[in-house]
């Protein structure tokens, strides 16, 4: 249910075409709520049909023209309703953790290399987030909108920090298992 709300948020920040939204998802919202361009276009049609957004009038003929969308009052009200509603946290589901549990009964072959790969991917994502933080949130920038956006980014930084540290710990455990296995 959150993709329509992600789109409403993005359109309230800046009216955009479907293509522009897709690019913005790739650069920001997609770090914590991903969507393909097909999903975005499908949701735009639904939101427009529900009267939550509208295509902005174009001065040129519509054929082949990018449609830009804006949020209507009903869309803003829906986003405010959804934002204020209580939601329970989602249970953790992670295939890597399940594979580690399975390794306890079937063996660890191949898993250590994948842990290293995951560690590298999380370290790269962490560096990407830190670069965004340096670029977009310099010290002293503190309007309410920026502070809330920075809070979202900090969640990403903290999660990637957790994963890199946890994977370092897991790899140390694998090294210990390897040493004990040779004794």
What pLDDT is recorded for position 140?
A: 77
Q: Which residue has the tokens 């939601």?
A: 87
Contacts of 74 (CB under 8 A, 6+ apart): 50, 51, 52
- Triad 149, 155, 156: Cα angle to 5°: 95
Taking only the tens place, the pLDDT of each residue in 59-69 is: 665 566 678 99
Length of the chain: 183
DSSP sequence for 43-81: HHHHHHHTTSEEEPP-SS-STTPPPEEEE-HHHHHHHHH
Which of 101-115, 149-163, 168-182 shows the lowest mean pLDDT across its residues?
A: 168-182
Which of 78-87, 91-100, 134-143, 162-171 shows the lowest mean pLDDT across its residues?
A: 134-143
pTM: 0.82
């Amino acid at each position: 249910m959150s993709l329509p709300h992600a789109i409403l948020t993005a359109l309230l920040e800046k009216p955009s075409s479907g293509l522009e939204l897709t690019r913005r998802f790739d650069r920001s919202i997609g770090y914590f709520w991903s969507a393909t361009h097909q999903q975005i276009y499908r949701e735009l049609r639904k939101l427009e049909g529900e009267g939550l957004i509208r295509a902005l009038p174009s001065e040129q003929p519509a054929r082949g023209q990018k449609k830009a969308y804006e949020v209507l009052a009903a869309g803003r009200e829906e986003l405010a309703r959804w934002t204020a509603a209580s939601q329970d946290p989602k249970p953790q589901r992670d295939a890597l953790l399940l594979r580690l549990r399975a390794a306890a009964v079937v063996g660890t072959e191949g898993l250590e290399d994948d842990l290293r790969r995951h560690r590298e991917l999380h370290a790269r994502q962490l560096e990407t987030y830190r670069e965004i933080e340096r670029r977009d949130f310099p010290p002293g920038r503190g309007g309410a909108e920026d502070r809330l956006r920075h809070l979202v980014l900090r969640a990403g930084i903290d999660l990637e920090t957790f994963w890199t540290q946890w994977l370092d710990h897991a790899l140390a455990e694998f090294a210990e298992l390897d040493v004990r296995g040779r004794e």
